[in-house]
């Protein structure tokens, strides 16, 4: 039987070995009628989540796809088209939350103080084969990618990223220099001045990376990678950098920011972590998603409070 955790990890490791960072979105949505931050199903328009985001992003970069729409072989056929002969499918994962009764070492059902049966949560995983829309032919109303020949940066509205940073309430200081970091003991994010960055996207990608670290403070998500006091260069430190890197990538996608982070100094550590623990990429992806959802919730709360004040 195939080991899904190992299969996914091998895909990520293979991408990293080829110099492709799987959690960076490989395209801009400018010139396309499909404007979604994450890969979506071409038929249902539902976005893919969890580990499928870096898996599909990595595959798109490795194969040169310019669209982020995916579907199954049968979906293409039912829609009136087909997958071209000889095309290779892409690995994806179906995740189904499950629960079962908890049992003790003697096999007896465990109950709480009120006598209710305790339940254990777990996930049922199975592989799923997808094809990019560019691997198909004959689909009705097929939306083609249009390259307008313009600088994609001209189409990016950076205001959403700025609003996200402001809504967090994080203490951010800009100082001329080479350092960008989050300091838990002072609960402070320090960044170089905006003028020092080569482009606007790089600034926001860096800021959102540090904001993901900020979310792990004990007063917020209490993430062990931040609260554990791990030394620079340790595996736990590198794992937290992986979480922040993926969190920043998700937030960049959600805010329409076209910026990349390139932390080559962590690449060897990430490869070591992934090769030694086949579930590590799943944990990192889950923590990154938790951080991004937490930060988005802060923005929604602030917007709601502002609306209430204006209508009071």
Check pLDDT > 80 for residue 9.
yes
Q: What is the pTM of this model?
A: 0.69
State mean pLDDT over 91-110: 82
Q: How far apart are CA 167 and CA 310, in angstroms?
A: 17
pLDDT tens-digit map of 175-224: 877 788 899 988 999 888 888 787 888 889 899 999 999 999 999 999 99
Over residues 14-41, the pLDDT tens digits come to 888 887 777 766 555 443 445 578 899 9
The conformation of residue 46, written as its DSSP 8-state character, comes to P
Convert the pLDDT of each residue in 163-178 to its tens digit: 999 999 999 998 877 7
Do residues 132 and 84 touch, judged by C-beta distance below 8 A? Answer: no
CA distance 121 to 137: 42
Predicted pLDDT of residue 141:
63
pLDDT band, very low/low/confident/very high, at 144 (cuts 50, 70, 90)? very low
CA distance 312 to 307: 8
**What is the DSSP secondary-structure string of 14-36?**
HHHHTT--TTS-----TT-S---
Q: Sign of dihedral through CA atoms 263, 268, 271, 277? A: negative
């Amino acid at each position: 039987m195939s080991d899904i955790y190992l299969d996914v990890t091998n895909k990520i490791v293979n991408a990293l070995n080829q110099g492709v960072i799987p959690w960076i979105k490989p395209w801009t949505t400018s010139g396309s009628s499909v404007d979604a931050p994450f890969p979506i199903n071409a038929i249902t328009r539902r976005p893919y989540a969890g580990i499928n985001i870096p898996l599909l992003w990595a595959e798109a970069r490795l194969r040169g796809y310019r669209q982020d729409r995916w579907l199954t072989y049968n979906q293409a056929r039912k829609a009136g088209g087909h997958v071209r002969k000889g095309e290779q499918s892409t690995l994806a994962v179906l995740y189904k939350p499950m629960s079962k009764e908890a049992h003790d070492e003697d096999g007896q059902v465990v109950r709480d103080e009120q006598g209710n049966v305790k339940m254990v949560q777990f996930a049922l995983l199975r592989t799923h084969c997808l094809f990019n829309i560019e691997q198909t032919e004959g689909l009705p109303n097929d939306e083609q990618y249009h390259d307008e020949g313009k600088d994609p940066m001209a189409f990016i509205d950076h205001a959403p990223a700025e609003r996200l940073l402001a809504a967090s309430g994080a203490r951010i200081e800009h100082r001329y220099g080479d350092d960008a970091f989050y300091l838990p003991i002072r609960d402070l994010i320090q960044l170089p001045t905006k003028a020092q960055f080569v482009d606007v996207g790089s600034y926001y990608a860096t800021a959102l990376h540090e904001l993901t670290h900020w979310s792990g403070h004990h007063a917020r998500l209490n993430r062990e990678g931040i609260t554990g006091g791990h030394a620079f260069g340790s595996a736990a430190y590198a794992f937290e950098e992986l979480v922040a890197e993926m969190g920043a990538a998700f937030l960049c996608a959600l805010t329409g920011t076209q910026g990349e982070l390139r932390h080559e100094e962590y690449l060897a550590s990430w490869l070591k972590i992934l090769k030694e623990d086949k579930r590590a990429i799943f944990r990192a992806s889950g923590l990154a998603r938790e951080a991004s959802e937490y930060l988005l919730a802060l923005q929604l709360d602030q917007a709601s409070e502002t609306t209430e004040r204006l209508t009071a």
